Amino acid sequence: MKKIFLVIAILIAVTTLANAANRRPFVWADDEAYWPAIYRGKNGKPVGIFNDILTEVFKRLDIPLKKEVYPWARAQKMVKDGEADGMVTVYTKERQTFTVATKPLWKIVETIFFRRDNPKACKILKVNSFKDLRGFKLVDTIGSGWTKEQYKKYQIKHIVWVPSVESAFNMLAKGRVDVFIMFRFNAYNFLLRKRAFKGPLAKSYRNIVAIFPAFAELPFRLLIRKDSPFAKKVKDINRVIEEMKRDGTYKRIREKYAGVVPLY
C-alpha cells in the first residue's frame, strides 16, 4: 500500500512540475520606438498594434506573456542570446538561422525620404530598387536587418549607421545624407508630431519629403528562437491568428487604429 501511495505521490509531483513548466511565460522583447506597431507607452509598458495582437493570441492559448521594449538592437540580441523567446520583425536570412516564424501578423510599408532641395532630388525620384541607390549616401538605424541584407546584396557601401530614428532624421534634415528608408507611419509620426513645427531644425524638417508609391511592403511575423520551448507552438499561434481574422478581432484592431495604418 505504501508503494502505491509513493507512486501516486511521484506521479502528482511530476504532473505538477510539468504543469509549472508549461506555465512559463513567453518572453517577448521588441522595439521601444516603432510607432504605431510597437513602442513604449506613457506608463513605460509596450503598446501598439503588435501588442494588441500578441496579447490576444497568448490569452487564447492560455500562455502567460511577459513583454518589454528596448532599443531595437538590444531586443534582437536578447532573443539571439536566449534572454527572450521572440520578437516581431521581418524574417531575414540571418534571422532564419536562429528563429522560426509564424504567419504574418501585419504588413508594413517602407518609403524613401529625402530633402526636396537636395541637388540629387531628381535622381532620387527615379529610384525604384536598391540597385538604384548605389550613387547615394544613406542613413539607417543600427539593428535594421532587412535593409542591411539588401545593402550587402546590392553592394551599397555609402551608409551611415546611427542609433535611433531621431538621429537618422537629424542627419537627413541637416543634409548630411541623401536618403533614409523608413516605415511610413513611424516616420510621419516623427516628422509631423515631433520636429516639423518646433525645434531648431523645424524648417529643415519641413524640407523632407517622401517618394510615392511605396518603396517596399514587408510582412512582419513573430519570430521565435529555435531552442525556445515555444518554437513548437508555431502551428498553434498560426491557428489563433487565422481565428482572430475570421472572428473579427483583426477588424476591431484595425478600427482602433483607423486612419493611422492599414492592417492585414
User: What's domain 24-108+218-256's superfamily in CATH?
Assistant: Periplasmic binding protein-like II (3.40.190.10)
Among 94, 111, 119, smallest CA distance to 190 is for: 111
Identical topology for domains 24-108+218-256 and 109-216? yes
**Residue where the block lists cell 511521484:** 10
Q: What is the pTM of this model?
A: 0.84
Q: What share of the chain is helix, strand, coil (3-state, %, to 5)?
A: 45, 25, 30
Was domain 109-216 assigned CATH 3.40.50.720? no
What angle do helix axes 49-60 and 249-256 make, rounded to 10 degrees? 160
Measured between alpha carbons, how far is 256 from 190 in angstroms, rounded to an integer?
A: 20
Compute CA 165 distance to the chain's CA centroid, rounded to the nearest angstrom. 13
Measured between alpha carbons, how far is 153 from 249 in angstroms, rounded to an integer?
A: 38
Per-position pLDDT tens, the chain of length 264: 555 545 454 545 444 434 444 589 999 999 998 988 999 999 999 999 999 999 999 999 999 999 999 999 999 999 999 999 999 999 999 999 999 999 999 999 899 999 999 999 999 999 999 999 999 999 999 999 999 999 999 999 999 999 988 899 999 999 999 999 998 887 777 666 678 888 888 999 999 999 887 899 999 999 999 999 999 999 999 999 999 999 999 999 988 887 665 544
- Please report, for the chain, the start and end positions of each structural domain, with discontinuous segments joined by +: 24-108+218-256, 109-216
